[in-house]
């Protein structure tokens, strides 16, 4: 074989190997994404939003539920803000050239503690609220004790209600 043919064969071999590596990496990434989607679908989700569930309640009960949950969320807000602030501080610390692992660990522990305080406050208020409701209403609102998803309580008393068909 001539040197020109060897160079062409070597270039073709390198190109084919690069293509095979790229195809393999693409398959692995796509497979991981599919597995993540399957896992997410298998996790139980809330049936509907909390406010959609609350719409089924008697208007007076619904208003009290909204006010109570809103007050609880506002009371817990400083704890969650502190948790985010401490976590951001730990991230900023990690970007510094003079990284202090002890300080970062402390900030992350404080962040978790603040988040736990906020969650405990929300859960305690939710349990107290559930204790004041009739069994049917309590059953409908029991989803507020799930940890999955984020509950955002907004006061939408000025919005017209949608009727279920």
Calpha distance 101→99 (Å, rounded): 6
Instruction: Report whether 106 contacts 86 (CB < 8 A).
Output: no
Q: What whole-number distance in Å separates Cα of residue 66 and Cα of residue 52? A: 12
Local structure of 131: helix, strand or coil: helix
The parts of the chain modelled with pLDDT lower than 70 are 42-51, 53, 147-165
Residue 106 CB neighbour total at 10 angstroms: 15
pLDDT for the residue numbered 89: 93
Six token digits for residue 28: 């692995």
- Closest residue by Cα to residue 139 from 150, 130, 151, 129: 130
Rg (CA), the chain: 27
State residue 165's pLDDT score.
36
Q: What is the pTM of this model?
A: 0.57
What is the predicted pLDDT for the residue at 159? 46
CA dist list (Å): 140 to 61, 72, 125, 163:
12, 19, 16, 18
pLDDT of residue 152: 45
Q: Give the count of beta carbons closer than 10 Å to the beta carbon of residue 95.
A: 7
Q: What's the CA gap between 61 and 110, in Å, rounded?
A: 37
Tokens linked to 66:
């909204």
């Amino acid at each position: 074989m001539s040197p020109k043919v060897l160079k062409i064969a070597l270039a073709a071999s390198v190109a084919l190997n690069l293509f095979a590596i790229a195809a393999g990496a693409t398959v692995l990434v796509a497979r991981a994404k599919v597995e993540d989607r399957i896992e997410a679908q298998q996790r139980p989700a809330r049936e509907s939003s909390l406010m959609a569930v609350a719409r089924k309640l008697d208007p007076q009960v619904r208003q009290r539920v909204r006010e109570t949950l809103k007050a609880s969320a506002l009371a817990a807000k400083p704890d969650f803000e502190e948790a985010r602030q401490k976590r951001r501080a730990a991230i900023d610390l990690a970007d510094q050239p003079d990284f202090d692992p002890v300080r970062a660990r402390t900030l992350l522990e404080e962040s978790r503690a603040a988040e736990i305080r906020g969650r405990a406050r929300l859960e305690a208020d939710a349990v107290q609220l559930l204790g004041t409701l009739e069994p049917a209403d309590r059953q409908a609102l029991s989803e507020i004790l799930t940890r999955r998803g984020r509950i955002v309580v907004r006061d939408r008393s000025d919005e017209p209600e949608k009727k279920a068909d």
